[in-house]
Structure 1
Amino acid sequence: MRGAGRSRKRRADQPWWFALPAIAVFGVFFLLPNLLNFVYPFTNWSAFHTGISFAGFSNFQSILHDGSMLRDIRITLEYAVLVALFQNGFGLALALLLERDTRFNRFFRAAFFLPVLISALAVGYVFRALLAQDGALNSLLSALAGHHVNTPWLGSTTWTLVVTTLIHAWKWMGLAMLIYLAGLKSVPADVMEAARIDGAGAWRSFWSIRFPLLAPAATFNVTTALIGSMNTFDIVQATTGGGPGSETEVFNIYMFRIFGEGLYAQASAMSLVLFLIVVVLAVPVIIGLRRREQAL
């Protein structure tokens, strides 16, 4: 009873209005802009109008009749799928390689996690310099090959999208590695011991026991990779700017271009379309992965 009385007194000494500054910041910089994003797409807000008035679905009709939108949605989906594959593949491989708790492995865990802490724009500009035709990678390949190598790594309409997804996956694979490491550490030791006694080899133990038990970690990593890459902007903007020939123009680059032209309401409509696409695609993926967890 004394403890309950002290708890009530402590709560009385901490009035709720202490939270007002945090609530104000949240409301002004997060809640209000998100609410307005459901309003501005239905207006004529632009740099060419002095006022803002209701415009119905005209902005959505304009972007639907623009052939760039469907192309950029396709590119964004391809980008998201490739990032999810590369990021999870690299992360899982690193987790398996660095699973043992040694000083050597702890050092490389930190080294591979370091890109997660670096600005995505900085990562993009560094790789843009490295992969330029006169950059460090071509210089190194020229030295190794004995002749001049002039490969346009970021200037090809064939593989540039794959290169940018590899850069994105490189930046975030350290986070996937940590999640998979946590999943591997949670596998019961007695289950693995029973598998060894039954004669299961390393591959059989991984595929039949450890991999199914990594389902929660895979759900988190795949979901975050898909949602994060569908909302990507900074890495693509820093490396290719959407080129060459709009082959890497993901949806946010397209939206940024339209906003830069002064068509603010159309850009807001594109933002709303992207939000709906992410919801429509992410929800079934999450539900499917959760059902897989329960089945395993």
Structure 2
Amino acid sequence: MLTTARETSGSRTVTRSRPAIRRRTHPMWFMAPAFAILLLFFFLPTLFNFIYAFTDWSGFKAEIRAVGLENFTDLAANGTLFRSLRVTVVYAVLVAIFQNAFGFGLAVLLERDTRLNRVARVFFLIPVLMSALAVGYIFQALLKPTGSVNQLLGLVLGTTVDYAWLGDTTWTIVVVALIHAWKWMGLSMLIYLAGLKTIPEDIIEAARIDGASRWRTFWTVRFPLLAPAITFNVATALLGSMNGFDVAQATTGGGPARTTEILNIFIYRTFGQGLFAQATTMSLVLFLLVALMAFPVIYVLRKREEVL
């Protein structure tokens, strides 16, 4: 294919032919390997998870047959399903609250670009880079009745302290949620810092000219403009904690008395016992829980962004 180009010189027009450049490739082809990996390791396992949840697949027999909703009714009848769901929801809400509170507080404290603040930001980001299992085992050692936390409290109080921080059926889930939030609060801090840094200075200056105090300027001007950062941090905290496993498994293993047995720990134990159909049923329930809990929260927060 040829195209023509016209050049005008004085009263004379010269027409020249030049070959057209034909695009022989399409940018979508470069995404084919990524789509193939996504299909093989995500979509197909998710599809089979939906299928096997309605069968009697187990490690004790070779034949697999369909059983309908029998797995769901059995789990609901013995209370296992609702107990794990309740623990998972409580754990996710606690982690979202603690992680965002810690991250937001650190972002406000370390907002100024001083040398000390830069060093402190790096230190608070270190737990994010650490293995979650390592964090769990470290805190398990620290919170033992003979661990360093009780020894430090004993030195401060002048008496012997042997409290079992991970052995209380009421407060252990709060402790584990605090550990999970501590591990990821550096990421929340980073997102809130980015939000604070992108607020235009002229808006803040206008509020000060109008007579607003520093405290009022922060809560009525700057804080509402952090809505996108809040949406991201709350969504990631909820999704991460509902799919959590490593911190709770390393610290308590689901105890005491299954008070910290979140859904993924129960799935792990059930699958290890050879009850594959029950485990896939619970993972399907977890998928539905994440969808029903996280997406409405994200929708509400996004609508709040539009209002602000």
State the TM-score bracket (shorter-chain normalisation).
over 0.9
Deviation string, structure 1 residues 243-290 (Cα, Å, up to 9, x no partner)? 111111111112222212211011101100111111111121111111
Counterpart position of 1:68: 80
Distance 2:28 2:48 in 1: 31
Distance 2:170 2:236 in 1: 27
1:228-243 to 2 correspondence within 5 Å? 228-243=240-255
Q: Percent identity?
A: 60
Shift of 1:71: 1.4
Shift of 1:20: 5.9
Counterpart position of 2:37: 25
1:263 and 1:144, CA in 2 relative to 1: closer, same or farther beyond 3 A? same
Shift of 1:231: 1.1
Q: Which has the higher strand share?
A: 2
Deviation string, structure 1 residues 112-135 (Cα, Å, up to 9, x no partner)? 111111111111011101111111
- Residue segments in structure 1 that go unaligned for 5+ positions in a row: none
Distance 2:205 2:126 in 1: 34
Counterpart position of 1:5: 21
Distance 1:37 1:262 in 2: 15
Shift of 1:24: 4.2
Distance 2:28 2:248 in 1: 46
Counterpart position of 1:193: 205
Counterpart position of 1:151: 163
Three-state SS of the structure 1 residue aligned to 2:187 is helix
Amino acid at match of 2:66: F
Distance 1:34 1:225 in 2: 23
Counterpart position of 1:172: 184
Is 1:294 matched up with 2:306? yes
2:287 aligned to 268, 271, 275, which one? 275
Is 1:220 matched up with 2:236? no
Distance 2:294 2:33 in 1: 33
Shift of 1:293: 1.0
**TM-score under structure 2 normalisation?**
0.89
Is 1:123 matched up with 2:135? yes
Three-state SS of the structure 2 residue aligned to 1:71 is helix
Distance 1:206 1:83 in 2: 25
Amino acid at match of 1:61: T
Query: Structure 1 stretch 71-80 or stretch 85-94: which is displaced more?
Result: 71-80
Shift of 1:146: 2.0
Shift of 1:68: 2.0
Distance 1:25 1:276 in 2: 24
**TM-score under structure 1 normalisation?**
0.93
Aligned residues: 291
Counterpart position of 1:84: 96
Shift of 1:28: 2.6
Deviation string, structure 1 residues 142-193 (Cα, Å, up to 9, x no partner)? 2222221101000111211110000000011011111111110111100001
- Residue segments in structure 2 that go unaligned for 5+ positions in a row: 4-17
Is 1:110 matched up with 2:122? yes
Distance 1:70 1:202 in 2: 47
1:48 and 1:126, CA in 2 relative to 1: closer, same or farther beyond 3 A? same
- When Rg is computed on C-alpha atoms for both structures, the one with the higher figure is 2
Shift of 1:62: 1.3
Three-state SS of the structure 1 residue aligned to 2:60 is coil
Q: Which has the higher helix share?
A: 1
User: Whose relative contact order is higher, 1 or 2, with alpha carbons under 8 Å and at least 6 apart?
Assistant: 1
Distance 1:27 1:236 in 2: 30
Distance 2:42 2:303 in 1: 32
Shift of 1:21: 5.2
Distance 2:31 2:207 in 1: 53
Q: Alignment RMSD, CA only?
A: 2.0
Amino acid at match of 1:62: D
